[in-house]
């Protein structure tokens, strides 16, 4: 089934489907709790610097620059820098071994890790504990919803309202009482069922770590956004987080990192030949470790010939809209870049309305 594999429990003997990214071959590096696979340097730093991690917390990831090699990232502390992360390249020998320094070579990465758990041996400190690894991202709510849009209304439980949008509200909730989700509801009369379904189809098509993932819905009244790797803060959106939440106390490096995450998601949208047309802080979801996800694709469109012309009378957020789009209704990826620039001002001013006064 691609993203879902049939499996049998060794303890109970029961069979069923499990997400394929929840399992790995026994004794493989993928099965190790400290192995994070293909994550970038910035993502590694974000996770290691999460509150609650101590000095010596570590992870191993694929090298971004050398194919077949790995990188060891360790949380460290000193009086000059405070909490920070050190990175070491794990190089591969021609005969298949691994090393950080040629003085200590190992047959497997597991042996290398055990060596540095026992002694620092030139590293900033001994390896203490693996970094907490979040739940892998699900491709769908379950194998039953893989090719199905409609789910029963009673399977969704709304727990806490996270925010209001132009067309509806976003709630924190659960599906089937087990899976944490964010649920988007529509205000009556604000959006046609056809337009809602169009937004849903766009979100189903776009899959990226920095985009809110759509899983399923109920009629035209619900959008279910998976929460496998983000946990909504009480503030909800980036805008509320900056104005009334912990975002008020963020320093410039953290704000720059959040901007970089949003840029990565928008770069993916561009590669897929889409434009968002409604990029602003109110449409960004913020989660644990300051993880950002782009949401609200109500105005997103597939573009042909690098341009999309909006229908006459279409509504869009004027203060975030590029001049050529506002005046002539002509949208390109460059108009999304303009909106991203306005979003940057929201970041550095902690949620102030653009062009005040």
Closest by CA to 227, choosing from 246, 243, 214, is 214
Residue 153 in contact with residue 183, Cβ under 8 Å? Answer: no
Angle at 69 between CA 65 and CA 72, to 5 degrees: 90
Angle at 259 between CA 356 and CA 272, to 5 degrees: 110
The span from the CA of 84 to the CA of 96, in Å, is 31
Q: What share of the chain is helix, strand, coil (3-state, %, to 5)?
A: 30, 25, 45
Where does residue 70 rank: exposed (0-12), middle (13-18), buried (19+ CB within 10 A)? buried
Binding-site residue set for ATP: 184
The span from the CA of 57 to the CA of 67, in Å, is 25
Out of 278, 296, 305, 336, which one is annotated catalytic?
Answer: 278
Q: How far is CA 50 from CA 75, 85, 172, in A?
A: 10, 11, 23
Cβ count within 10 A of residue 300: 22
Contacts of 294 (CB under 8 A, 6+ apart): 210, 211, 212, 262, 265, 266, 269, 276, 279, 283, 284
Closest by CA to 67, choosing from 43, 44, 92, 45, is 92
DSSP-derived secondary structure letter, 321: S
Question: Is 278 considered catalytic here?
Answer: yes
**Which alpha helices (H) appear in the chain, and where do they start and end?**
41-48, 109-118, 193-205, 238-244, 252-271, 323-328, 333-348
DSSP-derived secondary structure letter, 168: E
Which residues are part of the catalytic machinery? 278
């Amino acid at each position: 089934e691609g993203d879902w594999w049939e499996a049998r429990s060794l303890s109970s003997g029961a069979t069923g489907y499990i997400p394929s990214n929840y399992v790995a071959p026994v004794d493989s590096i993928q099965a190790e709790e400290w192995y994070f696979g293909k994550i970038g340097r910035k993502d590694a730093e974000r996770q290691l610097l999460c509150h609650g991690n101590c000095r010596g917390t570590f992870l191993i990831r694929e090298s971004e620059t050398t194919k077949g090699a790995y990188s060891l990232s360790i949380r460290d502390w000193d009086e000059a820098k405070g909490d920070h992360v050190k990175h070491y390249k794990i190089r591969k020998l021609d005969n298949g071994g691994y090393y950080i320094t040629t003085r200590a070579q190992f047959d497997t990465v597991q042996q290398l890790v055990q060596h540095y758990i026992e002694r620092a041996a030139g590293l900033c400190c001994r390896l203490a504990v693996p970094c907490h690894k979040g739940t892998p991202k699900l491709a769908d709510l379950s194998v039953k919803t893989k090719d199905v849009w409609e789910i029963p209304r009673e399977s969704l439980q709304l727990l806490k309202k996270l925010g209001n949008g132009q067309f509806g509200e976003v709630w924190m909730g659960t599906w089937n009482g087990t899976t944490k989700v964010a649920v988007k509801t529509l205000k009556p009369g604000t959006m046609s069922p056809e337009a809602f379904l169009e937004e849903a189809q766009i979100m189903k098509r776009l899959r990226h770590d920095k985009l809110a993932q759509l899983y399923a819905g109920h009629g035209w009244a619900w959008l279910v956004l998976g929460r496998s790797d983000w946990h909504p803060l009480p503030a909800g959106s980036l805008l509320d987080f900056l104005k009334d939440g912990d975002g008020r106390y963020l320093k410039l490096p953290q704000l720059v990192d959040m901007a970089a995450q949003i840029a990565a998601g928008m770069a993916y949208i561009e590669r897929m030949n889409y434009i968002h047309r409604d990029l602003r802080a109110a449409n960004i979801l913020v989660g644990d470790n300051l993880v950002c996800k782009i949401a609200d694709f109500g105005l997103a469109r597939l573009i042909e010939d690098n341009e999309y012309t909006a229908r006459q009378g279409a509504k869009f957020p004027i203060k975030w809209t590029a001049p050529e789009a506002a005046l002539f209704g002509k949208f390109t990826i460059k108009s999304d870049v303009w909106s991203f620039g306005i979003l940057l001002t929201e970041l550095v001013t902690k949620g102030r309305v653009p062009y005040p006064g």
